[in-house]
Structure 1
Amino acid sequence: MGEPSSIIELSLSCRNLFDIDPLSKTGPVVHAYIKNSQRKDYTLLGKTEEVQKSLNPDFTKTFTLEYFFERAQWIKFEVYSDENDLSRHIGTCETKLASFVTSDNQNFTGDLKLPGVEASRGQIFVRADNVTMSNDEVSFTVKADMQDQGGWLCCRLDNPYLLISRARSGEVDVRIEERDYIRVFQSRVVSNSMNPDFGEIKLKKQLFCNSDTNLPLKIQLCNYRQDGIHPLYGQFITTLTELSAKETSSFPLINSQGHQTGTIYFKKFIVIPHPSIAEYIRSGWGLNMSVAIDFTASNKEFKNPTSLHRQYQNGKRNDYEEAIIQVGQILEPYAHDRKYALFGFGGIPMFTGASQVSHCFNLTGIYDPTVQGFAEMLNLYKSRVPNVCMNGPSYFSEVLQNVLNYMEENMLKKMYHILLILTDGEIHDMSKTKDLIVECSKYPLSIIIVGIGNADFSNMVALDGDEVVLRNSRGEATKRDIVQFVKFNHFKNHDLVQLGEEVLKEVPDQIVSYMLSKGIKPQPQFDHRPFEPEQIQNFL
């Protein structure tokens, strides 16, 4: 295969986007796809966030990938005006990855077009940057005191948010053009405040400053407005070296006219050394994996031609089977004793003689829910489907309680737990599920939810907690982000290998964050697990 020539990071912006609906400002999002000479089809690299009410968005989400000089690596960007309606397609730009590397200052501009139409529907700007990897994390809290501008702006600034951008690699002059800054973080909006508190912020050192402590960082305070035009209140330039010199520091905000408009305060600014997951694996830590499969009535009985559990005779696999394979085959080398626990929920397990719905039952039909290897897990699922009556409602809490009980009984073992939930829709015990996830966040657990089918998965997005911190019924927040949700259909028509990579990409950070929260350090001298280096690299 060969080693990559470099690892590069892509940051994206769009300008002059075609306005599909002039009565409602567009909220564009970009889907990025990659293809190389060894693949026939494009695979999803990732998606940006949706930028509301803007025809000229700058995206915070970046994409990191390996660049191979010797390969023809094609990349494609699809821009949509609505993440939930892919028929609102603004345009496509397709080029080779080498176009970014060889362009002037690694800045690329491409036209967005519809298939068979020459007219441009806007431009996409791509900035490529060489990556210096680091597992370390930067942690700090931020507050601001904003001065009343007395009408300097056309309206009172009272909805502030924070932007952090870094210069491109190798740039050390503070007089850097705006285009050579890469946006790395955007805070939540603090409404109706002249003294906003943005709380604790944690960022990977690589993302924050590309692991370069002297790289210029631009800190900006902006005012969020409903019309999509967000005035700049003030900004300043600093570096990680300057920020980390003191645990508490302050900086004046300077507006475009050179006047001070306020002050930003950094507190508890620290750089936290992070071990890698590979170090913990070498220290004897293993992964315990459980899989819970949805057998509620909305899946439809397996004999129904439209059933999500349909069993095909021609070797074709249903979506549940594909999800089991793509995730299971990645985790199998790390699974404790190469075993998986396999549960069902929301159905009547007739193979046990039951006549009532169960919200957590062992698919093995015996006390021990484990099977050896993902191939046996797949075969067991297929054999049980005809003997489970689809029922409901859809409860997650009993599965979560089962896993929580097991973790509590095995806390002395060097074991991190992964729960994979495959489900086709809504949750009917949302409050209890939230309570249990908050409790589980104290334990060595990651929860991966894969949405099967075309149902409304808004509750799953809420459990993911990427946009709003998940809280229980008492208002307590999760100790860690432990839930990752993805829709299977986002990968179904592309390379399904990407599904396993997407659902597992947050797991390494979740494992390390748990270890650090408990003060657990890897022990390099302890190395008895039979893992090969390439296995660890594949998981990372």
Structure 2
Amino acid sequence: MAEQAVFQPGTGAIPATLVELTVMVVMFTKDDRETQWREFGRTEVIWNNLNPDFVKKFVMQYCFEQSQKLKFEVYDIDSQSADLSKHEQVIMQFRAHKLDKKDFFGKSDPFLTFYRANEDNTFTVVHRTEVIKKTLNPTWKPMTLSVRALCNGDYDRHDFIGDFTTSLRELTRGPGQTNVYECINEKKRRKKGQKYQNSGTVELMNVRVEKVYTFLDYVRGGTQMNCTIAIDFTASNGDPKSPNSLHYSSPYHASPYCNALRAVGNIIKDYDSDQLFPALGFGARLPPNGVVSHEFALNGNPQNPFCDGIEGVVSAYLKAITSIQLYGPTNFAPCINHVSKFAAAKPNGDEYFILLIITDGIITDMPQTCEAIVNAASLPMSIIIIGVGDADFEAMEVLDGDDVRLSSRGRYAERDIVQFVPYKEFMGRSGDNPAVVQARLAREVLEEIPDQFLSYMKSRNIKPRPPVQRQLTISSITSLPTSEQ
């Protein structure tokens, strides 16, 4: 999932001692696969100005699922800023009246073609309507075009539609006499002279221009991303003391659970303002009484299950694995319902919740899990499932819902909120470099989150706030059950 980010450098006042300054900004980028910065672009040079305002913009693809580092160097003073542009789209519908007959034995099969006028006076096709068969009075379906594609953001730029011209500025005036157009056939005009009037008229039925908001707009506007992590402690993972166990870690060998935690967590953490992650475990016997729990605090503190950063989660996990007893079964519903409670309390878009489940086994509470996900699909929430090991993950593909929308008791999920990725598909594909493996895993796991996020915001007509300085807050959890209910 990629979005376009536009950076336009500008500076504040430059110290007055630096007179007759020549200023230029250079932008560098580096992703999670690169070790060195590479130059992305340069602004124009501004001469003799202590308050330069650059015209040149840097346009790059913004990817939620990747760590994209940017560096700006200002010659000869250190400063940087960024301006991220929003997008617009225009929705229009047309109909035509009394078009010329073009078919020898019948009527016409009309359609509209939209052209964008380019800076070099050429024209580029940007859209064609559907063909409506055998009619001289067609009504075409509403169409949605981005303003950038239609006129490169210039409302006054002319677009050619059939044999008449208009502009987006004219179209936005709406239906009416000013947006009824005569279709002119120049060959007929030259042939018939003054007897020729037109080849029919085209009338605008409706039009509106609306903002298209991106995931980045909401993040800049202060929407908080809250990630809860749930780890599978069922016995099918194997004895943690055995090198064959999926929970086995040593000073020289991190477990698949640790690798998955770091790979996805190191991307998620950049969108979590407080860097505190509630971490849960399920499927274990807990000390001191050996009661089975499918929803326990990984750090052992039910009143405050937050861990400080991803490494705090890893530390809590490594400590827990030495104190609890792996057991079972593999139940997802308790952890999903746990996060759903907090998502249900924040339906206005101020916060968005992500549940990351790392598991090795076949789900044993499939009906309850399906119902929990269907309920969660109407909340500001997404679920990421990473499958480790060689178990049968067929049920996970059902939960993913890419091919068939998930349902429970005859009710379908409002939207797709689950992304499943089998960890083993990434092992050994990139040599022995664990950093590259983790980067590939993170990209695969996180690629659907922005679309899921935007689908919720759009369905609730929630618009992003203006960019703000984000503040640290904690969504507190008062208590967690410590035994099986």
TM-score, normalised on structure 2? 0.54
Cα distance, 1:459 vs structure 2: 0.8
Match of 2:276 in 1: 339
1:481 counterpart = 2:416: yes
1:507 is displaced (CA, Å) by 1.1
Task: Give 2:213's match in structure 1, choosing from 267, 275, 278.
Answer: 275
- Superposed CA RMSD in Å reads 4.3
The superposition leaves residues 331-382 of structure 1 with CA deviations (integer Å, 9 ceiling, x where unpaired) of 21321411101001111123xx241221111112112211111111111111
Pairwise CA distance, 1:425:
2.2
Quote the offset at 1:37 in angstroms. 9.7
- Write 1 or 2 for the structure with the bigger share of strand: 1
Q: 1:412 to 1:327 in 2, by over 3 A?
A: same
2:365 pairs with 1:423: no
Following the alignment from structure 2 to structure 1, what is the Cα–Cα distance between the partners of residues 451 and 458?
10
Contact 2:377 2:417 (8 Å CA) reproduced: yes
Go from structure 1 to structure 2 and tell me whether the alpha carbon gap of 1:279 and 1:356 turns closer, same or farther (over 3 Å shift).
same
Q: CA deviation at 1:509?
A: 1.7
1:359 aligned to which of 294, 297, 313:
294
Query: Which protein has greater RCO, CA pairs closer than 8 Å, 6+ apart?
Result: 2
Written as runs of structure 1 = structure 2, the 5 A alignment for 1:411-450 is: 411=347, 414-450=350-386
CA–CA separation in structure 2 for the residues paired with 1:136 and 1:457: 41
Offset from partner CA, 1:152-209 (integer Å, 9 cap, x none): xxxxxxxxxxxxxxxxxx99899xxxxxxxxxxxxxxxxxxxxxxxxxxxx9x8xx99
The one-letter code of the counterpart of 2:415 is R
Change beyond 3 A, Cα 1:356–1:138: farther
Unaligned runs of 5+ in 2: 5-30, 37-59, 62-84, 93-117, 126-142, 152-166, 175-205, 431-435, 473-485
Aligned to 1:285: 223
> How has the CA–CA distance of structure 1 residues 359 and 134 changed in structure 2, closer, same or farther, with 3 Å as cutoff?
same
Q: Does 1:309 align with 2:251?
A: no
Other-structure match for 1:328: 265
Name the structure 1 match of 2:328: 392
- Amino acid of the structure 1 residue aligned with 2:294: H
Change (3 A) 1:305 1:137: farther
Residue 501 (structure 1) aligned to one of 443, 465, 483:
443
Distance 2:247 2:89 in 1: 43
CA contact (8 A) 1:485 1:503 kept: yes
The alpha-carbon deviation at position 409 of structure 1 amounts to 3.8
Superimposed CA distance per residue, residues 205-261 of structure 1 (whole angstroms, 9 cap, x where no aligned partner): 8xx9997459xxxxxxxxxxxxxxxxxxxxxxxxxx9xx999xxxxxxxxxxxxxxx
Q: Deviations over 1:306-336 (max 9, x none)?
A: 100002132x211100111111111213214
Partner residue, 1:221:
none
Q: 1:296–1:346: 8 Å Cα contact kept in structure 2?
A: yes
In the superposition, relative to structure 1, how do residues 512 and 138 fare at CA in structure 2: closer, same or farther (>3 Å)? farther
- Taking the aligned partners of 2:90 and 2:424, their CA distance within structure 1 comes to 35
- Output aligned runs, 1:375-386, within 5 Å: 375-386=311-322
Residues 47-196 of structure 1: matches in 2 within 5 Å?
Answer: none
**Preserved contact between residue 134 and residue 211 of structure 1 (Cα < 8 Å):** no
For 1:452, which of 355, 378, 388 is the aligned residue?
388
Q: Identity, % of aligned pairs?
A: 33
User: Partners in 2 of 1:269 and 1:466 — Cα distance?
Assistant: 33
Partner of 2:256: 319
Moved more, 354-363 or 292-301: 354-363
Q: 1:137 to 1:294 in 2, by over 3 A?
A: farther
- Classify the secondary structure of the residue corresponding to 2:275: strand
Q: CA deviation at 1:526?
A: 3.7
- Measure how far apart 1:412 and its partner are: 6.4
Q: Deviations over 1:413-443 (max 9, x none)?
A: 8211010000112111111111111110111
From 425, 428, 433, give the equivalent of 1:490.
425
CA distance in 1, matches of 2:385, 2:240: 22
Give the count of matched residue pairs: 306
Unaligned runs of 5+ in 1: 5-34, 41-64, 67-132, 141-169, 175-202, 215-240, 247-267, 531-540
Q: Distance in 2 between matches of 1:209 and 1:281?
A: 22
Does the 8 A contact of 2:398 with 2:406 survive in 1?
yes
